[in-house]
Structure 1
């Protein structure tokens, strides 16, 4: 009998068993923080090298002590979204994945002992030159074949089984991060993601019938993906939290990121909301962007393209009317989807939001964090800010202001509504 048939029958049996079990109360999530996939970024070759310390996985475990984690808990967070590099589990192979899963469980238990609920997030990322075996080879996207799909389902089952014995009110599993499926699908009926999501749920349920799962829509886990997903096939499962990520406007939240060569790399320090960009300010922003392009881009043809593109990006931002009202309208779409499908707002999670601070206007950074958090709470959604910055305070997406005490930057703490918690 083919393995796929056996797996399908087993999944059907587990779901039938699930329906007969009493519902387990899902953890009550309110205010959370993401822990980064790596503190020191690691590619496959480095990970597989004999000298790599796999006993320090995830790699914040050997850098952060319980006193620091307790300090972070005291800032007002009740849960951690624990980003785990799912590709590393694939790199390690079937035998090597077991000890890594043991380390994930140990990290989860350590956080729970300090009072956090924990979402174990299998944070699978797109492939790059140093990091093969990513989203495309698992999901079959970007013209790749899903050559790792069966292996990935098996990992979900293994991890779910290990997490199933932990406290039910503090343990959740998110089986995949930002699935980049269905960007080219024009009608929801043709989407591939619903079947893949069902298979991920079934893989987890084989070993963990009542473990709370955090599930998302396609199209990289944003609002569009969630809004086009029909949750009716999952209605028999009482232990699901639905999640989405939100970084709009991207021209502000991701400005200056050095790993992408697009207009946003050069058009930086934008005011937020967009209404704050006047004519004189716009000209100054363009001059600064084009000066950076002149300094950093050697190819004349590419410089000309970018000179035009940054002007178009600024025009688009100014006409977008981006501000708290547009965020509220976007979150209303999620609220409508939840209401139409019988999903209580407390079962909806804003799993990531934040801003890349290295080239951001400081006031805009605080304003965008506050507006996004406020919109989530207004709809009754839980949220998890991205990201902690456990060992990189004041850099990237970090919200921590002191990587020794793990305390938040005061203005960020106020923007997250934690000042009086």
Structure 2
């Protein structure tokens, strides 16, 4: 049957309809293709792979200061100056210290860096500091270690302490800090996003936490993530909660800014009364709490302190005063009955937070944990057996949940150290064993 010819107007309309259909089909194909590409990119995107790390704090976190109180230029210390800082350089074995760290079984270092030299001065001073830091980071990545670059504010130059960014989201200090962090991100991208991750804040204060929390930190963290994403979509960012970077601070975060290249940090120093057994006064006593608490009693803990005071020859009046001060904290520790189950439940709160926000627990990051070891004079610290049991429990709990960890810290004279604090710079083999690392 022959088809009747259409009128000119009708034929023109039909041609336009066919053309629009083709355009719509082409557009639909393009949209579908873009969707597939986005899905593929999402599936491929993942943060820097981290497993077992150690904090390196004494190297770049204490940039030398002139007598005037300003930072020395160029800033930061060499590796040799770092190693020679607390002991003789001859106490260290010859060779590359980062190769040694890798040989111990660590796959990354958490490198803490004083942001002060990056904030002090102008553009030239910042670029100079960034050049020094770039070369420093490469010393670790060149031997196959990944690096978590941790901007870790300290108070040796008070103007650039943590208070600098402990303000409102639009405060001058926060805005200047965020601009500096963007420059750091650009430097790290040049090193390679397959080698480094960026932790722009360490243990931010921004109290209070919990139900009475302020929304300031939420906004600061989200804004900082947005800043870094303008530099790179691939650089792994380690975000943290307020309240000292604790689990409580993490639980406060609404991760609406999340993407597949973000890890979420918490530090595990709970209970603080056990991990940080160190008296506030110079001649005080705070040591000997057991782990778990069920291995001892308040009476035993008080008797330990009393015996150490008598060995030290303190007066009876001072003994009574010191014991009275310690008694309340000791009783609270045992009443809470801290142990393996309590600790697992606490870390489980972080896991639950991640799952509730559709974040795999493998994107949690336990950036610090540790215990002060018993001092020679027994005035401070935990006995080795208790310290090692705690470290093993924390490490195993993290690993059971697929959480990367970084122990605090590689080498320092203050008690939380993998390298023995005195004599030859050899690792604490019992601590390596508790961390699940080879001891040979």
TM-score where L is the length of structure 1: 0.81
Residue of structure 2 in register with 1:134 after alignment: 161
Summarize the alignment of residues 280-295 of structure 1 with structure 2, pairs less than 5 Å apart.
280-288=299-307, 295=314
The one-character-per-residue Cα deviations of 1:259-291 (angstroms, maximum 9, x if unpaired) are x4499x522122221112236523313425766
Give yes or no for the alignment of 1:115 onto 2:144: yes
The one-character-per-residue Cα deviations of 1:278-336 (angstroms, maximum 9, x if unpaired) are 3652331342576699959xxx9x99875433110111111121122111010110111
Residues 71, 407 of structure 1: 8 Å contact kept: no
Residues 209, 243 of structure 2: 8 Å contact kept: no
Summarize the alignment of residues 12-91 of structure 1 with structure 2, pairs less than 5 Å apart.
22=41, 24-38=45-59, 41=62, 44-46=65-67, 52=72, 54=74, 57-60=76-79, 62-63=81-82, 67-91=96-120
Taking a change above 3 Å as real, the CA distance of residues 61 and 192 of structure 1, as seen in their structure-2 partners, is farther
Question: 5+ residue gaps in structure 1?
Answer: 1-18
Residue of structure 1 in register with 2:4 after alignment: none
Q: Matched residues in 1 for 2:40 and 2:177: separation?
A: 27
Residue of structure 1 in register with 2:86 after alignment: none
> Whose Rg is larger?
2
Residue of structure 1 in register with 2:25 after alignment: none
Which of 181, 194, 198 aligns to 2:206? It is: 181
Taking a change above 3 Å as real, the CA distance of residues 308 and 283 of structure 1, as seen in their structure-2 partners, is closer
Residue of structure 1 in register with 2:215 after alignment: 191
Q: Matched residues in 1 for 2:69 and 2:228: separation?
A: 27
Residues 55, 407 of structure 2: 8 Å contact kept: yes
Q: Matched residues in 2 for 1:308 and 1:198: separation?
A: 45
SS in 2 for 1:132: helix
CA RMSD after TM alignment: 3.4
Taking a change above 3 Å as real, the CA distance of residues 403 and 47 of structure 1, as seen in their structure-2 partners, is farther
Give yes or no for the alignment of 1:212 onto 2:231: no
Residues 270, 285 of structure 1: 8 Å contact kept: no
Structure showing greater relative contact order (alpha-carbon pairs closer than 8 Å, 6 or more residues apart)? 1
Residue of structure 2 in register with 1:16 after alignment: none
Summarize the alignment of residues 302-381 of structure 1 with structure 2, pairs less than 5 Å apart.
306-357=322-373, 358=375, 359-360=380-381, 361-381=383-403
Which of 374, 385, 389 aligns to 2:407? It is: 385
Shift of 1:167: 2.3
Give yes or no for the alignment of 1:155 onto 2:174: no
The one-character-per-residue Cα deviations of 1:344-377 (angstroms, maximum 9, x if unpaired) are 1221110000112233212222111111111111
Residue of structure 2 in register with 1:270 after alignment: 289
The one-character-per-residue Cα deviations of 1:12-50 (angstroms, maximum 9, x if unpaired) are xxxxxxx89945432111100100144795575558568
Further displaced range: 319-328 or 396-405 = 396-405
TM-score where L is the length of structure 2: 0.77
Residue of structure 1 in register with 2:18 after alignment: none
The aligned length equals: 384
Shift of 1:245: 0.2
